[in-house]
Amino acid sequence: MNTQQLVMHGRPVTRRRSLAALLGGVALAVAGAATAHAKTPPATRPNVVVIVLDDVGFSDLGAFGSEICTPHMDAIAADGLRFNRFDTKALCSPTRAALLTGRNNQTVGMADLPTELVRPDDHTKDRGELAKNAETLAEALRRGGYATLAFGKWHLSPEPEDGRPGANASLPLQRGFDRFYGFLAGWTDQYHPDLVRDNAPLPKPDAPDYHVSPDLIDRTIEGVEAVRSASAEKPFFAYVALGAAHAPIQVPRPYIEGYAGVYEKGWDAIREERFARMKRMGVIPPDTRLPPRNPSDKPWSELTEDERVVFARYMAVYAGFMTHADDQIGRLVARLKAMGVYDDTLIVLMSDNGAASEAGPNGTFQRLYREDKLSIAEIRARLGDLGTDKTQSEYPKAWAMAGVTPLRRYKAWPYAGGVRAPLIVSYPKLIRDRGAIRPQFLDVVDLAPTIADFAGVSFADTLDGVRQIPLAGRSMRKVLVDPRAPGRAVQFFELRGHRAITSGPWRAVAMHRNGEPFDHDRWELFDLSKDFSESTDLSAQQPEKLSELKALWFAEARKYSTPALSEMLERYKRRSRYEEFSGTTP
């Protein structure tokens, strides 16, 4: 394998090139053309590639101000647009449900994670299974003549569904994709993943140098090449959901060593450096304030020597994991260019939520979502195991604070640190002001309608006699070509009782404590036109505006979410297994 020197923000970073192609190909049957609904397809329709990163914070890409080396993703940004006000649902499954349906996750039954038990009589927002009457983007595109391919993380099917007949209703093939290769759960071991091809579970890979990220990109390349070989005129939709950079953070050692000496300065210094760089790059407004350190995140200066050594290594593994994923994305882009289809391909690259804080103040070393029995000194003695298959690790949550710079809190929180994520959209054939930053507000529900608009298809009002849930998102095509076009005006948020509402420049946020009445929640108010980072609460100065936004939240929630908020209280008395580690209790 070749080793390459890159210079990122003034310092050389040694980076191991991508792993060799692994395992054999999978034969792909291309679905036959179908008639589009409502719209006439344009003469030349773009191919579509949607790349979803996992638990990657707002500032974790080089194009958004990071010191992490991501040249291939940065190059996509240079050919396209970066959005600095793109909001998700703050958690993986809700975001992916909204992304693939164009509806709010509460409306399509994915208010939280997929259910552990399918309840046929449950038709509420808490069902934990995608609604059958919510046509997916893949289904709409396939009706419009696209080949539809999915690779990587799914995490939208109930846990009992494993692909067997009668236990696969929510798997990708049953929700509009022609082919699927990936994993069904929220995470998997990068070296020994639990993989599924179409509806069939596969043996764990046993190649000595195996890593799931290169494998997923190998399959993506094979898939799009098979489509083009079968028909040069048939457009494809490739949904590529990498495991990176969700824990376990695991990556070959050369990628880790490329960050030797970078993170020993600590999370406070990295956060301040990113903040200054983001201002210089124009990723954030020049008047943005850096909020104080999150209350439960220790200053780096107060750590012991063992803690500083161990915690710096955790972040080096994460950064190496990101660079490794970037290499794989680079291979895919290089192949699209070699095939002559890059300029005709709409690429959407995003993260599903803010950086993750689930590992707590010390991180996890041995196994995810379990308390470590090793002391920090014992972990230091085993530092060489970090990133290997001997550990299932995640970094300490203060690195997540740095990951969402300059925002507050992290994944699963209603503040911008939880919902705000990097979004890059590239379509060289159309976008003229390449490399620009768009400040328009977009929500993840807007992506599916935008993609469908470019493809010349519409979501169906009725399918097989079944009335479909109306879309909540709208096409943002004009925003891609006109920097003055308006973005989304209003969007509500709810996760585990925590709430938020955005209306124009205003945003209100309320944290909810489990088991307490919702009218005990304290709301905060922010003016985003003057306060990008939600640093200053204006609720005391602007009570009328806050009351207006609270009323708007209830109106939007009644429109898009059932049951009503007052009927949800019983649900939040039972904390999910996942929430025990999410750190979102105020």
Among 18-32, 141-155, 445-459, 519-533, the minimum mean pLDDT is found in 18-32
What DSSP character marks residue 300?
A: G
The pLDDT tens digits of the residues spanning 439-461 come to 999 999 999 999 999 999 999 99
Q: What are the beta bridge partners of residue 506?
A: 503, 527
For 208-235, write each residue's pLDDT tens digit: 899 999 999 999 999 999 999 999 899 9
Classify residue 202: in a domain, yes or no.
yes
The answer to whether residue 40 is domain-embedded is no
Determine the Cα angle at 428 with ends 422 and 431, to 5°: 75
- The percent of residues above 90 in pLDDT, for the chain, comes to 78
pLDDT of 473-483, one tens digit each?
999 999 999 99
Is 2 part of any domain?
no
How many domains does the chain fold into? 1
- Given CA atoms 476, 405, 410, 241 in this order, what sign does their dihedral have? positive
Give residue-wise pLDDT tens across range 23-74. 223 222 333 333 334 454 555 899 999 999 999 999 999 999 999 999 999 9
What band does 122 get if pLDDT is binned at 50, 70 and 90? low
Q: Would you say residue 438 lies in a domain?
A: yes
CA dihedral over 20, 230, 341, 422, signed as positive or negative: negative
* Structure tokens belonging to residue 549: 């936004």
Label residue 562 by pLDDT band (50, 70, 90): low
% the chain with pLDDT above 70: 87
Mean pLDDT of 75-96: 98
Q: In this model, does residue 374 exceed pLDDT 90?
A: yes
- 278 in any annotated domain: yes
Max intra-chain CA distance, the chain: 66
- Mean pLDDT lowest among 33-47, 70-84, 396-410, 512-526: 33-47
Q: What is the mean pLDDT of the chain?
A: 89
- The answer, yes or no, to whether residue 392 has pLDDT greater than 90, is yes
Residue 22 belongs to some domain of the structure: no
pTM: 0.91
| pLDDT attached to residue 118 | 63
Residue 87, strand partner residues? 420, 443
The active-site residue out of 37, 72, 123, 155 is 155
Residue 155 annotated among the catalytic residues of the structure: yes
CATH number at residue 520: 3.40.720.10
Per the domain annotation, does 184 fall within a domain?
Answer: yes
Domain containing 154: what range?
A: 45-581
For residue 11, being part of any structural domain is answered with no
Among 9, 37, 69, 92, which one carries the catalytic annotation?
Answer: 92
pLDDT category of residue 159 using cuts at 50, 70 and 90: confident
pLDDT band at 166 (very low <50, low <70, confident <90, very high): confident
